[in-house]
Amino acid sequence: MTTMPQSRVHELHQLINQYNHQYYVLDEPTVPDAEYDRLMNELIAIEAKHPELKSIDSPSQKVGGQALKSFSQVTHQLPMLSLDNVFDLADFNAFVKRNKDRLLTSKSLSFCAEPKLDGLAVSLRYEKGMFVQAATRGDGSVGENITQNIRTIKSIPLKLQGVLGKDYPEIVEVRGEVFMPKASFEQLNEQAKKRNEKVFANPRNAAAGSLRQLDSKVTAKRNLAFYAYGLGFVGESITDTEQSTDVLAQYFSNSHYQRLCQIKALGLPMCPEVRLLASEHDCEAFYQDILTKREQLSYEIDGTVLKVDDIALQKKLGFVARAPRWAIAFKFPAQEELTVVEGVEFQVGRTGAITPVARLKPVFVGGVTVSNATLHNQDEINRLGLKVSDTVIIRRAGDVIPQIVSVVLDKRAENATNIVFPATCPVCDSKVAKAEGEAVLRCTAGLFCGAQRKEAIKHFASRKAHDVDGLGDKLVEQLVDEKLISTPVDLFSLTEIQISTMERMGKKSAQNLVNGLIQAKETTLAKFIYGLGIREVGEATAANLAQHFLTLDSLKAADSETLQQVDDVGVIVAKNIVNFFKESHNLTIVEQLADIMSWPEIVAKEAGSLPLEEQTFVLTGTLSQMGRNEAKAALQLLGAKVSGSVSKKTHYLVAGEKAGSKLTKAQDLGVKVLTEEEMLTLLKQHGIDV
């Protein structure tokens, strides 16, 4: 029996709407993406063949339609309000006191507490349950008609759930925030960078840019999301113009929190972090809790919103200018600030990379004072269009290193000067060069360059390499400057007397260092390889190389093809390894070190003998009981592959604290997520006790 196209279209509407609702509103996807795509493609194909079956509420309408010439204007039936801000507890308490005084009460107030999303406020209008119009806030009275664009947002239903006249009246306006999830923002900017296009400074700008598209097909590709935060105009009949309190009371609860739950039941997404708090005394804990979770959330927020929950009290409290008296935004400390680039210095790293570093007028941002920011390379400077003396937006979020987001061109000083890269190495004056296809300029002198020599020795002595006790960065710098050492080999002939002549080095610390060096002589082949500091050979790659080649001699002799048989080693890493061992002075150092140091013989593993073989792990977030690299090495010891990015091939994501976009992606792909504890248990089960 063949199904009639009409009934199949009906069936597809129901299925796709149901899957959208499960995915976006309930956060419980029930079918894989591929199945969803198949159904959507089937619907699009039927509609193309039978245009008469294409209705305004078809889920296929979410792919965008005809481009507009301009946005028309929409007058809001009820004004779209904004919020007053507070930044500390004293001001929040003053807000509560003002409200209690006004209400002539000393009783506690219950609050609806919400994260404050960093997006754009919009008003969505449903008539007889059908989505008919969406508008931006604009000036609060008149906004722009962005209906076509909002239609493309997958989580916004084109039809309300429930029964007209029972669950909702003829007119329902829902207000909320359109935003771009962090992962989508990062992906969008990655693509823009690859195409040499302008990147967005933050998810809010990306969301705004995506909503202001006249061509809704562009918006449809942007993966925007929406969380409702309240009701706008609600009317019994399409012709109603005045807000009736009776209609509101007939259909909706007298608690703001419950109203949000009702909006959710109508099919619109509600932020899962929203809470009903019994008293104003719980608001600070909510603020702190959300602040702690901030980095882990898949969307950007800049504070919390606290609303007197009782609608009757809201009505009594009323409004001042454009903001309600009954709600306040309790904002987090700013993560973005303005400052001035006072100069640019160039640092030379271990691999000779010359990195421009902006010296900033010190500024307090994200909870700390920032006075430097890396500019990465020439491409980044070009992308920013940065000059010395420019006013810039600096961003510091969580533990991430501060970044210059953009230049404020309106504030450009007349004396702003171009940033010029040095023609020779700023440390050793040797030639500098840029390898083909690389954005980084490098000093070509290798270990003849003082800066590279220092960095190479610091790397050799670092915790993840030979962990030389008592040899800090400052001491390495002094020893090199005093010409007592120029390669890691020289470390092993330092005497206590020589060491004790260095600043702040007494007899005891000199003895400690000599002992530390004696201990460092006993190592493993993996650490030995890692300690050489070959470009892009990290701990994991070094461990894989050791396990594959078993001896230093076979690694030294390996050609590019052989090297590429090793996990994690691609063309570039293989080339770096071959080039490293081609350099005669590198070879001399490696041979001298190999004479001084020793490591146990490695026994070749039998295929299939390791418990986590064929299992791919990704580690993300901060692990509290061990470093990420330690965890990686432990998993690799059990045969696991540890990759840097989540894909369909990932078996497990280990999510530490403040896990971000990788966690979201893993959840989207249905990858199993392990906590740090679960990973430790797994390691323990296989004999690795941390």
- Annotated catalytic sites, by residue? 116
Minimum CB separation from ligand 5U1 for residue 286, in Å?
12
Residue 266, interface with ligand 5U1 (CB under 6 A)? no
Which of 157, 203, 230, 488 binds ligand 5U1 (CB under 6 A)? It is 230
Question: Could you tell me which stretch among 114-122, 443-451, 577-585, 633-641 binds ligand 5U1 (CB under 6 A)?
Answer: 114-122
Which of 47, 114, 170, 568 binds ligand 5U1 (CB under 6 A)? It is 114
Which of 116, 259, 458, 459 binds ligand 5U1 (CB under 6 A)? It is 116
Binding mask 543-582 for ligand 5U1 (x = CB under 6 A): ----------------------------------------
Structure token digits, residue 158:
């084109």
Closest alpha carbon to 453 in 351, 309, 365, 521: 351
Minimum CB separation from ligand 5U1 for residue 299, in Å?
11
Contact 453, 351 (CB under 8 A): no
Minimum CB separation from ligand 5U1 for residue 263, in Å?
12
Closest alpha carbon to 413 in 386, 392, 384, 389: 389
Residue 385, sorted as left (phi over 0), alpha (psi -120 to 50) or beta, turns out to be left
Strands 652-655 vs 672-674: parallel, antiparallel or unpaired: parallel
Closest alpha carbon to 99 in 109, 85, 113: 109
Concatenated DSSP letters of 586-637: HHHHHHHHHHH-B-PPPPPPPTT-STTTT-EEEEESB-SSS-HHHHHHHHHH
* Closer of 114 and 455 to ligand 5U1 (Cβ): 114
Q: What are the residues facing 642 on neighbouring strands? A: 617
* Closer of 327 and 510 to ligand 5U1 (Cβ): 327
The alpha helices in 521-583, defined as continuous H runs, are 525-531, 539-549, 552-557, 560-563, 571-582
Closest alpha carbon to 178 in 120, 116, 229, 262: 120
Minimum CB separation from ligand 5U1 for residue 115, in Å?
6
Minimum CB separation from ligand 5U1 for residue 256, in Å?
9
- Tell me the residue number closest to ligand 5U1, measured at CB: 229
Minimum CB separation from ligand 5U1 for residue 396, in Å?
24
- DSSP-derived letter for residue 59 is G
CA distance 11 to 5: 10
- DSSP-derived letter for residue 504 is T
CA distance 33 to 30: 9
Residue 461, interface with ligand 5U1 (CB under 6 A)? no
In the sheet that 120-127 helps form, which strands lie side by side, from edge to edge? Answer: 130-136, 120-127, 171-179, 225-235
Residue 374, interface with ligand 5U1 (CB under 6 A)? no
Residue with structure tokens 């790293």? Answer: 349
Strands 323-324 vs 368-374: parallel, antiparallel or unpaired: unpaired
Which of 12, 305, 619, 671 binds ligand 5U1 (CB under 6 A)? It is 305
Which of 81, 484, 594, 673 binds ligand 5U1 (CB under 6 A)? It is 81
Question: Could you tell me which stretch among 9-17, 78-86, 444-452, 565-573 binds ligand 5U1 (CB under 6 A)?
Answer: 78-86
* Closer of 302 and 676 to ligand 5U1 (Cβ): 302
Question: Could you tell me which stretch among 75-83, 161-169, 453-461, 553-561 binds ligand 5U1 (CB under 6 A)?
Answer: 75-83
* Closer of 12 and 305 to ligand 5U1 (Cβ): 305
Instruction: Give the start-end residues of each E strand in 128-170.
Output: 130-136, 142-144
Question: Could you tell me which stretch among 17-25, 113-121, 518-526, 656-664 binds ligand 5U1 (CB under 6 A)?
Answer: 113-121
Minimum CB separation from ligand 5U1 for residue 81, in Å?
4
Which of 109, 120, 121, 540 binds ligand 5U1 (CB under 6 A)? It is 121
Question: Could you tell me which stretch among 79-87, 149-157, 645-653, 655-663 binds ligand 5U1 (CB under 6 A)?
Answer: 79-87
- DSSP-derived letter for residue 22 is I
Binding mask 171-190 for ligand 5U1 (x = CB under 6 A): ------x-------------
Residue 78, interface with ligand 5U1 (CB under 6 A)? no
* Closer of 116 and 151 to ligand 5U1 (Cβ): 116
Binding mask 317-356 for ligand 5U1 (x = CB under 6 A): -------x--x-----------------------------
Whole-number Cα distances in Å, 127 to 123, 526, 529, 531 = 13, 67, 68, 68
* Closer of 116 and 632 to ligand 5U1 (Cβ): 116
* Closer of 275 and 361 to ligand 5U1 (Cβ): 275
Residue 83, interface with ligand 5U1 (CB under 6 A)? yes
* Closer of 273 and 490 to ligand 5U1 (Cβ): 273
In the sheet that 85-86 helps form, which strands lie side by side, from edge to edge? Answer: 85-86, 327-331, 301-308, 111-117, 275-277
Minimum CB separation from ligand 5U1 for residue 658, in Å?
22
Minimum CB separation from ligand 5U1 for residue 156, in Å?
17
Question: Could you tell me which stretch among 76-84, 348-356, 377-385, 424-432 binds ligand 5U1 (CB under 6 A)?
Answer: 76-84
Residue 443, interface with ligand 5U1 (CB under 6 A)? no
Concatenated DSSP letters of 371-435: EEEE--SHHHHHHHT-EET-EEEEE--TTSPPEEEEE-GGG--TT-EE----SB-TTT--BEEE-
* Closer of 253 and 564 to ligand 5U1 (Cβ): 253
Residue 229, interface with ligand 5U1 (CB under 6 A)? yes
* Closer of 173 and 177 to ligand 5U1 (Cβ): 177
Contact 503, 578 (CB under 8 A): no
Minimum CB separation from ligand 5U1 for residue 646, in Å?
29
Which of 22, 55, 77, 82 binds ligand 5U1 (CB under 6 A)? It is 82
Interhelix angle 5-20/33-49, nearest 10 degrees: 150
Concatenated DSSP letters of 432-455: EEE-TT---EEETTGGGSHHHHHH
Q: Using the CB atoms, write b or e for 606-645: b if 16+ within 10 Å.
A: eeeebebeebbbbbbbebeebebbebbbbbbbbbbbbbee
The alpha helices in 120-202, defined as continuous H runs, are 147-150, 182-194
* Closer of 86 and 494 to ligand 5U1 (Cβ): 86
Minimum CB separation from ligand 5U1 for residue 300, in Å?
13
Residue with structure tokens 């109603």? Answer: 240
Q: What are the residues facing 320 on neighbouring strands? A: 323
For ligand 5U1 (CB under 6 A), the number of binding residues is: 13
Q: What are the residues facing 393 on neighbouring strands? A: 338, 406
* Closer of 185 and 229 to ligand 5U1 (Cβ): 229
Minimum CB separation from ligand 5U1 for residue 633, in Å?
43
Minimum CB separation from ligand 5U1 for residue 72, in Å?
23
- DSSP-derived letter for residue 167 is T
- Residues lying near ligand 5U1 in the complex (CB under 6 A): 81-83, 114, 116, 121, 177, 229-230, 305, 307, 324, 327
